[in-house]
Structure 1
């Protein structure tokens, strides 16, 4: 993705409308864009996203950025939002730590005439009126596609009428986790109505915790045919537990195809996932903020595509860098 090099001139006024309110924002030659991220250190996706965001901003001499990380702490993210408002940045990008809890801070930015772009994981619907645009993946569709991947594999194996599945979700309260779970749980009964989800537990996006969750599942259930994890980091944690327990023949399906997931697919141990690039994610968020500040029309839900990837078609995709 190439960022535009020509932005608003010193005295230009960009007029935009979102949430029913019209905002006129004066911009100097340089646009100052602040970002508060969820938790850069929690996984390689978020680490790669931050690096890509900084690189994209540095490639454009008309952009000044303030890059912050909440470290998974809602209170810290709210304080960062307030700090960016005090700095009078031209736009704020937020990767929410919690889709409900950040709404009051997003509202404050809206009231200060600062457009907010939500990135990667949306806020709750109650806050939509205060947001200029969401830039990121369609997580409900991702969950649905993961269900289709799993069902297709069960049909190939001839177990679609008896298969039992366990589900490892992301962090409770986190919009991406909620939406991917909903997409999977809604779609699976449509495509494989006789497959049973026997248990669901959170893995908090953490590989080690997900391994412990899977260890407990393996003790509790003698018959597990499939595992759906909300991302490959958790999925590989579950795979590691199954390998350690000597439980074979389980179909592992994830989302956000991490390098570890791709490698496990190469080894034939992990069946499929959803291909999602943190570089595309970061660049799309920055470009959406630029477009909004330039007064261009952008979709409220500005999704980028995230296709299915399995052992059958993985040769069409490069190994993720995260």
Structure 2
């Protein structure tokens, strides 16, 4: 297979085109476009892109146009319009903002191009224009993180007095909203006497999350648990607690088990997370698009499983590469 770099018509955005035409059917390979959120921002998204390209290269019936919005909503909308102009057979979008991309998704739908939303869903107002969502169930992830924390508090015998702080993801980002919702709703169901004292956004950023945790440590003398919307932020919070010599006695729980989280679990400093593979995520999105173009009907919510991982069962899981 060949991998070549082309320049798209809109905003002169560099795109990777992966073509597998060698054994393609007479009408040529199906063309699938993807516009990603922000490949450079974290290792999960970088690994996702590599896995997506690898899966496309392995399939000689597929040609993909791989774009990255760089976290810029306007650029992502321009990329959507460019893919519509190119008349691709399907579009995969990892939304930069769940609300703002709806008009562009509607435009693709009107053009008869099926849209797969990957990883983080768009806002409900746009659901009618989406063929399927492929990704993790973020509400369930938040719920499972609450269960991990509650189980740990019960094992420590502090489930009746524990105090928890939360570091959420990027405001307005569907994944952040849903993971917080899952945690906020589930914690009082399983541990009704645990108090969630405050939530602040960490924007998926380790340094910002460390600063948020530093402020929490100044403000609260007693913190028994920290829930972070992903392990990148969770480790930022851990670093702040270690620097303040207050990490011992705090249960750190994240979601999306990054390698830094896994390593902190190995050291006994970080208690648990949710295991989510960017490779599974990328392959599921591409497969969903292929099935739609091939005429297969898919459920609107096409989730892949994301199990609980803690210090107790981590030996059953391979260390994340991201």
TM-score (norm 2): 0.92
Residues 8 and 294 in structure 1, CA contact (< 8 A), matched pair in contact too: no
How big is each residue's C-alpha offset from its partner over 1:265-294, in whole Å with a ceiling of 9 and x where there is no partner?
000000000000000000000000000001
Residues 169 and 181 in structure 1, CA contact (< 8 A), matched pair in contact too: yes
Distance 1:179 1:76 in 2: 25
Paired residue for 1:307?
A: 307
| CA-CA distance at 1:61 after TM superposition | 1.6
| CA-CA distance at 1:8 after TM superposition | 9.1
1:146 aligned to 2:127?
Answer: no
Distance 1:80 1:164 in 2: 45
| CA-CA distance at 1:245 after TM superposition | 0.4
| CA-CA distance at 1:249 after TM superposition | 1.0
- Higher relative CO (Cα under 8 Å, sequence separation at least 6) belongs to 1
Paired residue for 1:230?
A: 229
Distance 2:30 2:205 in 1: 36
Q: How does 1:1-322 map to 2 (within 5 A)?
A: 9-10=25-26, 28-247=27-246, 248-322=248-322
> Post-superposition, which runs of at least 4 consecutive aligned residues in structure 1 deviate over 2 A?
7-10
Residues 25 and 61 in structure 2, CA contact (< 8 A), matched pair in contact too: no
Q: Secondary structure at the match of 2:117?
A: strand
How big is each residue's C-alpha offset from its partner over 1:153-192, in whole Å with a ceiling of 9 and x where there is no partner?
0000111011000000000000000000000000000000
Unpaired segments ≥5 residues, structure 2: 1-20
Distance 2:251 2:168 in 1: 16
Distance 1:128 1:209 in 2: 32
Distance 1:273 1:101 in 2: 30
Distance 1:311 1:111 in 2: 49
Distance 1:74 1:173 in 2: 12
| CA-CA distance at 1:29 after TM superposition | 2.5
Q: Secondary structure at the match of 2:53?
A: helix
Q: Secondary structure at the match of 1:40?
A: coil
Distance 2:138 2:277 in 1: 14
| CA-CA distance at 1:298 after TM superposition | 1.2
| Aligned Cα root-mean-square deviation (Å) | 1.2
Unpaired segments ≥5 residues, structure 1: 11-27
Paired residue for 2:17?
A: none
Distance 1:130 1:78 in 2: 15
Distance 2:166 2:24 in 1: 48
Distance 1:61 1:215 in 2: 51
| CA-CA distance at 1:9 after TM superposition | 4.8
Q: Secondary structure at the match of 1:68?
A: strand
TM-score (norm 1): 0.92
Q: 1:178 to 1:8 in 2, by over 3 A?
A: farther
Q: Secondary structure at the match of 1:99?
A: coil
* Worse overlay, 71-80 or 144-153: 71-80
Distance 1:155 1:8 in 2: 58
Paired residue for 2:15?
A: none
Q: Secondary structure at the match of 2:35?
A: strand
How big is each residue's C-alpha offset from its partner over 1:185-236, in whole Å with a ceiling of 9 and x where there is no partner?
0000000011111110000001011001101110111100000000000000
Q: Secondary structure at the match of 2:165?
A: strand
Q: Secondary structure at the match of 2:40?
A: helix
Q: Provide the aligned length of Structure 1 versus Structure 2.
A: 300
How big is each residue's C-alpha offset from its partner over 1:277-322, in whole Å with a ceiling of 9 and x where there is no partner?
0000000000000000011121110000000000000000000011
